[in-house]
Amino acid sequence: MTADEPSTPRPAAPTSEQEWLAAYDPRAYAPIAVTVDVVALTLRHGGLHVLLVERGAPPYQGCWALPGGFLRAGQEGLDEAAARELAEETGLLGGSEVEAALCRVHLEQLGTYGAPDRDPRMHVVSVAYLAFAPDLPDPQAGTDAAAAAWHPVADLDLGHRPHGRPRAAGAPADTHGGGVGGPTGQSSRTLAFDHARILADGLDRVRAKLEYSPLATAFLPHDFTIPDLRAVYEAVWDEKLHPGNFHRKVLSVPGFVESTGATTARGGARGGPRARTYHAGDAGLLHPALLRPTRESEIRGDEIH
Amino acid sequence: MTADEPSTPRPAAPTSEQEWLAAYDPRAYAPIAVTVDVVALTLRHGGLHVLLVERGAPPYQGCWALPGGFLRAGQEGLDEAAARELAEETGLLGGSEVEAALCRVHLEQLGTYGAPDRDPRMHVVSVAYLAFAPDLPDPQAGTDAAAAAWHPVADLDLGHRPHGRPRAAGAPADTHGGGVGGPTGQSSRTLAFDHARILADGLDRVRAKLEYSPLATAFLPHDFTIPDLRAVYEAVWDEKLHPGNFHRKVLSVPGFVESTGATTARGGARGGPRARTYHAGDAGLLHPALLRPTRESEIRGDEIH
DNA sequence: AGAATAGTGTCTATGAGACATTATTAT
DNA sequence: ATAATAATGTCTCATAGACACTATTCT
Distance A102 CA to C4 C1' (A): 61
- Contact (CB, 8 A) for B11 and A143: yes
What does strand D contact on the protein, if contact means CB under 7 A? A 225-227, 243-245, 247-248, 251, 263, 267-268, 270-276; B 242, 244-245, 249, 252, 266-274, 288-291, 293-294
Q: What is the pLDDT of residue B157?
A: 87
- Contact (CB, 8 A) for B72 and B85: no
Q: What is the pLDDT of residue B117?
A: 95
Q: What is the pLDDT of residue B89?
A: 82
- A255: closest chain B residue by CA: B300
Segments of chain A with pLDDT less than 70: 1-30, 91-103, 140-146, 160-188, 296-305
Q: Which residues pair with B124 in a beta bridge?
A: B33
Strand C closer than 7 A to residue B23 Cβ = no
Question: Which nucleotides of strand D come closer than 7 angstroms to any CB of the protein?
Answer: 3-10, 15-21, 23-27
Burial A26-46 (b: 16+ CB within 10 A, else e): beebbebbbbbbbbbbbbeee
Specify the DSSP class assigned to residue A100: H
| Chain A interface includes B197 (CB < 8 A) | no
Cβ of B126 within 8 Å of Cβ of A2? The answer is yes
Cβ of A35 within 8 Å of Cβ of B108? The answer is no
| Chain B interface includes A109 (CB < 8 A) | yes
Three-state secondary-structure class, residue B116: coil
Q: Whole-angstrom Cα distance, residue A143 to residue A268?
A: 38
Nearest to A71 among B106, B114, B302 (CB): B114
Whose CA is closest to A34, among A75, A86, A88?
Answer: A75
Which residues 242-301 on A are within 7 A of strand C at the CB atom?
242, 244-245, 249, 252, 266-274, 288-291, 293-294
CA B289 to chain centre: 21
Cβ of A73 within 8 Å of Cβ of B22? The answer is yes
Q: Whole-angstrom Cα distance, residue A34 to residue B78?
A: 13
CA distances from B221 to A261, B260, B282 (A): 57, 13, 16
- Contact (CB, 8 A) for A129 and A110: yes
| Chain A interface includes B93 (CB < 8 A) | yes
**How many residues would you count in chain B?**
305
Question: Which nucleotides of strand C come closer than 7 angstroms to any CB of the protein?
Answer: 2-10, 15-21, 23-27
| pLDDT values of chain B reduced to their tens digit, one per residue, 305 residues | 555 554 433 333 434 444 444 455 545 555 899 999 999 999 999 999 999 999 988 899 999 999 999 999 999 999 999 999 988 887 665 455 556 655 678 999 999 999 999 999 999 999 999 999 988 778 765 566 668 899 999 999 887 665 555 555 444 445 444 444 445 444 557 899 999 999 999 999 999 999 999 999 999 999 999 999 999 999 999 999 999 999 999 999 999 999 999 999 988 888 899 999 999 999 999 999 999 997 765 555 544 44
Whose CA is closest to B220, among B106, B97, B54?
Answer: B106
Strands A32-44 and A123-133: parallel
* A14-40 tens-digit pLDDT: 344 444 444 555 455 558 999 999 999
- Contact (CB, 8 A) for A286 and A257: no
Burial A231-262 (b: 16+ CB within 10 A, else e): bbbebbbeeebeeeebbebbeebebbbeeeee
Cβ of B22 within 8 Å of Cβ of A123? The answer is no
| Chain B interface includes A67 (CB < 8 A) | yes
Cβ of A127 within 8 Å of Cβ of B124? The answer is no
> What residues in A contact B76, CB-CB < 8 Å?
116
- B212: closest chain A residue by CA: A168
Q: Whole-angstrom Cα distance, residue B225 to residue B221?
A: 10
Nearest to A13 among B12, B31, B88 (CB): B88
Nearest protein residue to nucleotide D15 (CA to C1' distance) is B288
Neighbours of B248 (CB within 10 A): 11
Q: What is the pTM of this model?
A: 0.86
- Contact (CB, 8 A) for B278 and B259: yes
Find all residues with CB under 8 Å of A285, minimum gap 6, and list them.
Answer: A212, A213, B165, B168, B298, B299, B302
Cβ of A116 within 8 Å of Cβ of B77? The answer is yes
Q: Whole-angstrom Cα distance, residue B220 to residue B39?
A: 18
Q: Whole-angstrom Cα distance, residue B67 to residue B199?
A: 12
**How many residues would you count in chain A?**
305
Which residues 260-289 on B are within 7 A of strand C at the CB atom?
263, 267-268, 270-276
A86 half-sphere exposure, CB direction, 13 A CA radius: 29
Q: Which helix (H) or strand (E) holds A225?
A: strand A223-225
